[in-house]
Structure 1
């Protein structure tokens, strides 16, 4: 009995002591606000499935609130808003969100840096771009989370484009760097809010769009206001990323960081097959746009101009030169590898 009494007493005291030493504290749910570059129809594919999956698995621990293009801040102010902590995370390319880094010019569509969508993740994961992006964004208090590829860049226009001459004077909605490159062919780049593009084409403010492939043209409604799709492209894949405010990211426990990585990877994978299949299917079966093509020998003028453009960019800084050299090495390797990596 004595032993039993001592056990009960000591066990009870221990339990009380444990409860006093470590009271149960209800942890508050982590909430992030993430704004994407994409409007609602496009976001349904390029980001929403991954965010929905993240929130489902994270449960009571964390929720990412998703906002669409320009919903909280204009796309051109995304970087500053994230840097300040006004929003917690962003899905965009560097170019569109006007990030003040040495690598900004390479986001979105850097002319002819890629031919296929798989080129982008290989460049980041196997050729060293991840490390360069991480270093550049760490300098400005932002975490570069993960890069991936989207669709190729084609012209969707009201009038047919069958030669370089047809591009002259065309007012086109496109990305900053792509626009800078295309001006030498007479294209007039126009910057407008994403949601205004369809109406701007209808009213004649724009003659066309060089912002996407044919999948997005159909998904967001641009195929309804343009008549022609140029099969030549100035880049094989849009390069974009997920970013986060550095402090907010570092506050996350390790298992939520890992879950975030898995969600981003699932987003990248979804886009790989959605765009790759969609581009082909809509060229073959899409009823809304007529395909046009500039002959290869004439389009070679644009490809050669891109290489000169690369050298111009490389001359601007050591970091830019490093990135351009990676592009050159990668593309040389792909040509040497031959089919299916490069055809001619």
Structure 2
């Protein structure tokens, strides 16, 4: 072998080694935190997202369920700081950060039938065009919003009208509009971090709280309550976000990879959360046969529905012209979805 031939082969070996190192460097580990357990709705979405990313790239996703990195406020701060690449958080907790996102807590705004609801989340101009710039202002890339299921109340006494909530200390998320909503319902809203809710219900510090059906079962809230009441006022919504600097710094291929994974997880979770909600009530009845579960009639719901106008006014008062624009667009999107 000539010296020049040796140099050529050596150069190829160096090139191959460099290529291997570059590939290894490109295979990143991304951190993703969410507000629920692995087998709950956000956890199942996150697992599907992870599965899609890892099946279509060399990247790895590390998942952090609720509590492993602190409360919701902690994970949001970590996402904004770039410690986390992805975070799933309900507008209920981002309301102080992005006031317009509180629109999802206007009672009776979202439809109850799944066909219209899913079409709205797929096609909504408000979600796909108006919200992303607002999230971007907070250093976040909005990837997806999706429903987690019908929200129901748990209380110690039956609720059939707003009068039944009079003077009931009702836990709400740290969300100004949710406070207004439960004031309109007749309750005494009490903002409280989730980690304190079970104990507060158990000791009587609060007498009520609301959450999606599946969450009432998985967190065993039925153990510290006597009545579950569904008034059809809301479907719990959550948002998946990426750190904006991280996302903007990716190549086009990785950005498309992330969006494809978010879309696949979105479609997967729609049917999953419906089935989970139905199963959860059956599990609650098995675990506590004496529990009272009330699904209010259309007539019983009317006094609660009548409060939505005042909550809409409060929302616009908090968010101004932008909030009014988003609310109007959401109503137009919902009308289109219902057709």
Q: TM-score scaled by structure 2?
A: 0.82
Alpha-carbon spacing, 1:314–1:33, altered in 2? closer, same or farther (3 Å): same
CA–CA distance in 2 between the matches of 1:51 and 1:328?
A: 30
Shift of 1:13: 5.5
Contact 1:118 1:149 in 2 (8 A): no
Does 2:288 align with 1:291? no
Shift of 1:69: 2.2
Work out whether residues 228 and 290 of structure 1, in 8 Å CA contact, stay in contact via their aligned partners in 2.
Answer: yes
Distance 1:307 1:241, change over 3 A: same
- 3-state SS of 1:215 partner: helix
Deviates more, 1:237-246 or 1:24-33: 24-33
Which residue of the partner structure matches residue 136 of structure 2?
Answer: 138
Residue 68 of structure 2: aligned partner: 71
* Residues in 1 aligned to 2:261 and 2:194: alpha-carbon distance in whole angstroms: 26
- Alignment correspondent of 1:31: 29
Aligned to 2:178: 178
**What are the Cα deviations for residues 268-319 of structure 1, in whole angstroms up to 9, with x where unaligned?**
3343223322333455674133222444334212213213422442354222
Q: How many residues of Structure 1 are paired with residues of Structure 2 in the alignment?
A: 326
- Distance in 1 (CA, whole Å) between partners of 2:90 and 2:283 is 30
Query: What's the counterpart of residue 225 of structure 1?
Result: 224
1:325 aligns with 2:328: yes
Q: Distance in 2 between matches of 1:298 and 1:332?
A: 24
**Partner SS, residue 169 of structure 1:** coil
What's 1:267 paired with?
265
Cα RMSD of the aligned pairs, angstroms, is 3.0
The alpha-carbon deviation at position 195 of structure 1 amounts to 2.9
1:130-209 alignment to 2 at 5 Å? 130-175=128-173, 176=175, 177-209=177-209
1:313 paired with 2:308, answer no
The two structures have a TM-score, normalised by structure 1, of 0.81
Alpha-carbon separation, structure 2, partners of 1:204 and 1:243: 36
What is the CA–CA distance in structure 2 between the aligned matches of 1:181 and 1:146, rounded to whole Å? 25
- Kept in 2, the 8 Å contact 1:161–1:293? The answer is no
CA distance in 1, matches of 2:272, 2:19: 46
SS in 1 for 2:149: coil
Structure ranking higher on relative contact order (CA contacts 8 Å, 6+ apart): 2
User: Is the alpha carbon distance of 1:118 and 1:84 closer, same or farther for their aligned partners in structure 2, counting shifts above 3 Å?
Assistant: farther
CA distance in 1, matches of 2:328, 2:95: 23
Distance 1:191 1:87 in 2: 26
Larger radius of gyration: 1
Asked if the contact 1:41/1:220 (under 8 Å) is kept, the reply is: no
Deviations 1:117-149 (A, max 9, x none): 555553354231211111112223211111111
Q: Deviations over 1:206-256 (max 9, x none)?
A: 2122122x2221122112222211121211x22211111111123334444
- Give the whole-Å Cα distance in 1 for the aligned partners of 2:292 and 2:115: 27
Alpha carbons 2:34, 2:87 under 8 Å: kept: yes
Q: Unaligned 5+ residue runs, structure 2? A: none
Distance 1:46 1:231, change over 3 A: same
